[in-house]
A and B are shown apart, each in its own frame.
Chain A
Amino acid sequence: MAMHRFLMAAGLLASAFAVPGMAVAEEAANGHGPVIEAQEWSFAPPFGGFKQGQLQRGYRVYKDICASCHSMRFLSFRNLAEVGGPHFSPAAVEMLASQVQVTDGPDAKGEMFQRPGRPSDRFPSRFANDEAARAANNGALPPDLSLMAKARAGGADYLYALLTGYQQAPAGFDLTQGMQYNTAFAGHQIAMPNPLVDGIVPYTDGTEPTVDNYAKDVSAFLMWSAEPTLEERHKVGARVMIFLFVFAFIMFLAKRAVWERLHRRDHSHTA
């Protein structure tokens, strides 16, 4: 029985070399998904931290592009001022927040009202609820992005691969109407249209406004939003590790000194 399955798998593998479309089907069927290439990130452990400029650019890409469909419900404008994050100035955060209209209330008359946003407000969501989001997106639900960099295997590498993975579907690939071909997405059919085009978001700090940079910057931004304490964690970690290594060395010496008494006794007695 197991032998039979093995032969079937071998046959499938053999035919995969013949038909590229089959290779894709096989790859998706084994459940491991496409291979994601690792990128170099400033925030890699053990000592890495975020680049403030990159997070600020990444926020810009999120706000101008991603936010037109995706919410980030765990983030507030005040978070943008955090050290170890984009670290915008308080004035800039006030300004960014005040650009959105927030429904507040009820007021003394029991009515809801609109007011400009404050730093304590959450990032606005484009859609009132999931159903509205689906209705506007051909039935697909754009997921919340707050934790996206931790909610997918591969993390920031995966996000970068996805955003730069849009291609023409290979010949013979059965692409469903309204779907896009993406090399990084499991099954290679994604409902999200290619969001990034060179020059679509203006950069003011001299960084090249290319898809590659957009994808890198917004992936780094999403890593920060998923793990806003990453930099602090690495810093505390370094101190804790130094402490533990010193402590371990002292404990080693203490242990040796104590057991030395026992060895001395054995030695003096047997000599």
Chain B
Amino acid sequence: MAHPSTYQPTSGFGKWIDTRLPFPRVVHDQFMVFPTPRNLNYWWTFGGILTFMLVLQMMTGIVLAMHYVPSADGAFDSVEKIMRDVNWGWLLRYAHAVGASMFFVAVFIHTFRGLYYGSYKAPREVLWILGVLILLLMIATAFMGYSLVWGQMSFWAVTVITNLFSSLDSLIPGLGTTLVEWIWGGFAVGGPTLNRLYSLHYLLPFVIAGVVMLHIWALHVPGNNNPTGVDVKTERDTIPFHPYYSIKDGFAIVLFLIVFAALLFYVPNYLSHPDNYIPANPLQTPPHIVPEWYFLPFYAILRAIPSKLFGVIGMLGAIAVLFIVPWLDTSRIRSTSYRPIYKWFFWLFVITCIALGYLGAQAPDGWYLFFGRAFTIYYFAFFLLIMPIVGLIERPKKLPGSITQSVLGSQASKPPSPPPPGPDDREGLA
């Protein structure tokens, strides 16, 4: 939240740098004393978890890139070399592969949290749009990373997904084919394709890091939303980020790491496909080509739509529709906790996403296809019909008078209180 700076440089160097590049001031104002609503629950810790995961993925990835060989002949063998001959290579590679899954677990929870609590509503539209952009970049990065293993699933996933662009042939004959050959760097998926995927897989995380900085900047202008959706009214509604939320986020990160480590050390291949331990073979198509689990809902939407072009549009639209959510939601209040009708539609939407994930792994015929279509319709109806209509007709429950009141009950509204204890105020409180 925009607030006057309280930074007082004490040392000589502190004063010197403050008039040249006031970095310590920014850290102090934005990450130490930053006024944060006092009622944030554990669903709010996933922002910190995601930042941690981005840094971890970049660190393991940079070391893996030192040992990886981005060529059609060398890629698969170099991954095995990392697993067998590089010191701690198995740990790096499994941490990176399982880490990608954990990254998506966190980003999905973070996104659902934003949806549930109306964190996209004014004045946080730009914050939300940047978040959707990060999600989109993450999807591209993860897809490219999975392809680098150059196993059967890598190869055929690249073939299937890049071939989607050929659907543009039905708009302008030749356009799709030309585009696909340009992407491939040849007439089929091969070495040149792998090289460009590798290059972009290394580039995009840094783009993500840049957009994350903008995302945090856009967060720090209006400040955090909170579970009540009620705006911060007095200073008493907030507490300094440090130590209250630095310690809470830290605790959540450690809990998250326990789940991560259990997967990594005990079932590192549980979330991947056995076929990817077979080297890529352009002459042999696997019986079932399935993407990584985090793409399955989108894959289900793609296959639910009979036309190839509209399938692609539907799949991309499933993400694109998120960009306009701030203007689709007509509700006067933010938090779904106070929306008796919308609440049911929201949880049905969560079930829909999980169901689409399940259906994305099944062969698209019979009842699987039927339900794939039904859930695809609901997915879009939720955004395009339910969000605008329910917001207009629904009568929300009574909101608490303030954030503090929601925490302490009505007695809290009585006297004004001293400013909340901050990091520099430890003794004064005891």
Chain A residues within 8 Å of B, Cβ to Cβ: 2, 5-6, 9, 30-31, 45-46, 74, 79, 143, 146-147, 150-153, 155, 226, 228-229, 232-234, 236-238, 240-241, 244-245, 247-248, 251-252, 254-255, 258-259, 261-262, 264-266, 269-270
User: Chain A residues with Cβ under 8 A from B38's Cβ?
Assistant: 262
Q: Are A244 and B258 in contact, CB atoms less than 8 angstroms apart?
A: yes
Which size bracket describes the interface of B in this complex? Answer: 35 or more
- Are B90 and A31 closer than 8 Å at their CB atoms? no
Q: In the complex where A31-B287, A151-B274 touch, is A248 in contact with B369 (Cβ < 8 A)?
A: no
A151 proximity list for chain B (CB < 8 A)? 274-275, 277-278
Asked if B257 is an interface residue, CB under 8 A from chain A, the answer is yes
Residues in A with CB closer than 8 Å to B83 are 229
Assess whether A248 is in contact with B265, with CB atoms less than 8 Å apart.
no
A237-B265, A244-B257, A259-B248 known; 18 new pairs, CB 8 Å cut-off, are: A9-B366, A31-B287, A31-B363, A46-B266, A146-B80, A147-B277, A153-B274, A232-B90, A233-B268, A237-B264, A241-B261, A241-B265, A251-B250, A252-B251, A254-B251, A262-B38, A265-B420, A266-B412
Query: Given A237-B265, A240-B265, A262-B38, A251 and B243 touching (CB < 8 A)?
Result: no
> Roughly how many angstroms separate A79 CA and B418 CA in the complex, as a whole number?
68
B414 surroundings in chain A (CB, below 8 A): 270
User: With the chains together, A74 CA to B277 CA distance in Å?
Assistant: 12
With both beta carbons as reference points, the residue of chain A lying nearest to B412 in the complex is identified as A270
Q: How far is the CB of B68 from chain A (nearest CB, A)?
A: 16
**Shortest beta-carbon distance from A1 to chain B in Å:** 8
Complex alpha-carbon distance, A228 and B370, angstroms? 44
B233 on the A face (CB < 8 A): no
- For A46, the closest partner residue in chain B by CB is B266
Judged by DSSP, the binding face of B is helix
Instruction: Please measure, in the bound complex, the distance between the C-alpha atom of A143 and the C-alpha atom of B80, giving whole angstroms.
Output: 17
Q: From residue B273, how far is it (CB to closest CB) to chain A in Å?
A: 9
Determine whether B262 belongs to the interface, using a CB cutoff of 8 Å to chain A: yes
Task: Provide the bound-state CA to CA distance between A216 and B94, in Å.
Answer: 27
- Quick one: which of B261, B277, B412 contacts A240, CB cutoff 8 A? B261
Tell me which residues from 262 to 305 in chain B have a Cβ below 8 Å from any Cβ of chain A.
Answer: 262, 264-269, 274-275, 277-278, 287-288
Interface centre among B244, B366, B417 (most CB of A within 10 A): B366
Residue-wise interface mask of B (388-430) relative to A, using a CB-CB cutoff of 8 A (1 in contact, 0 not)? 0000000000000000000110011011011011000010010
Q: Are B258 and A255 in contact (CB under 8 A)?
A: no
Query: Are A5 and B365 also in contact (CB < 8 A) when A45-B266, A228-B84, A270-B414 are?
Result: yes
A247 touches B254 (CB 8 A): yes
> What CA separation (Å) do A40 and B243 show in the bound complex?
49
Nearest-neighbor residue (CB-CB) of B374 within chain A: A2
Let me know if A262 and B239 touch, CB within 8 A: yes
Inter-subunit contact A255/B268 (CB<8 Å): no
Chain B's closest residue to A233 (CB) is: B265
Interface SS, A side: helix
B369/A2 in contact, CB under 8 A = yes
Closest Cβ of chain B: how far from A226's Cβ, in Å? 7
- Chain A, residue nearest B251 (CB): A251
Chain A residues positioned under 8 Å from B411 (CB to CB): 270
**Contact residues in A for B266 (Cβ distance below 8 Å):** 45-46, 234, 237
With A5-B365, A251-B254, A258-B243 given, is the CB distance from A74 to B80 under 8 Å? yes
Q: Which chain A residues border B257 with CB–CB below 8 Å?
A: 244
Return the chain B residue nearest A251 by Cβ.
B251
Which residue of chain B is the closest to A252 with respect to CB atoms?
B251
Complex CA distance for A126 and B54, rounded to whole angstroms: 46
Most buried by B among A2, A79, A228: A2
B376 nearest CB across to chain A (Å): 14
**Does B109 reach chain A (CB closer than 8 Å)?**
no
CB distance from B366 to the nearest CB of A (A): 4
In the bound assembly, the distance between CA atoms of A171 and B287 in angstroms comes to 27
Q: Which residues of A contact B251 (CB under 8 A)?
A: 248, 251-252, 254-255
Are A233 and B90 touching (Cβ within 8 A)? yes
The chain A residue with its CB closest to the CB of B266 is A45
Asked if A254 meets B421 with Cβ closer than 8 Å, knowing A2-B369, A248-B255, A262-B38, the reply is no
Residues of B within 8 A of A236 (CB): 91, 265
In contact, B258 and A245 (Cβ under 8 angstroms) = yes
Interface residues of B in 148-194 (CB under 8 A from A): none
- Known A-B contacts A251-B251, A252-B251; the reply to A2 vs B80 at CB < 8 A is no
**Contact assessment for B421 and A261 in the assembled complex, using a CB-CB cutoff below 8 Å:** yes
The answer to whether B274 and A261 have CB atoms under 8 Å apart is no
| Residues 56-82 of chain B, each 1 if its beta carbon lies under 8 Å from chain A, else 0 | 000000000000000000000100100
Question: Which listed residue (B367, B369, B420) contacts A262, Cβ 8 A?
Answer: B420
Using known A-B contacts A147-B277, A258-B247, A270-B408, determine if residue A244 contacts B254 with beta carbons closer than 8 Å. Answer: yes
Residues A234 and B265 in contact, CB atoms below 8 Å apart:
yes
Nearest A-chain residue to B261, judged by Cβ: A240
Known contacts A228-B84, A236-B91, A255-B251: does B269 contact A150 (CB below 8 Å)?
A: yes
Please, which residues of chain A bring their CB within 8 A of the CB of B254? 244, 247-248, 251
B84–A264 CB distance below 8 A: no
Q: Which residues of B contact A261 (CB under 8 A)?
A: 421, 426, 429
Chain A residues lying within 8 Å of B91, measured Cβ to Cβ, are 233, 236
Instruction: From A150, A228, A255, give the contact of B277 (CB < 8 A).
Output: A150
In the complex, the answer to whether A2 meets B370 with C-beta atoms within 8 Å is yes
Residues of chain B lying within 8 A (CB to CB) of residue A240: 261, 265
Q: For residue A248, which residues in chain B have a CB less than 8 angstroms away from its CB? A: 251, 254-255, 258
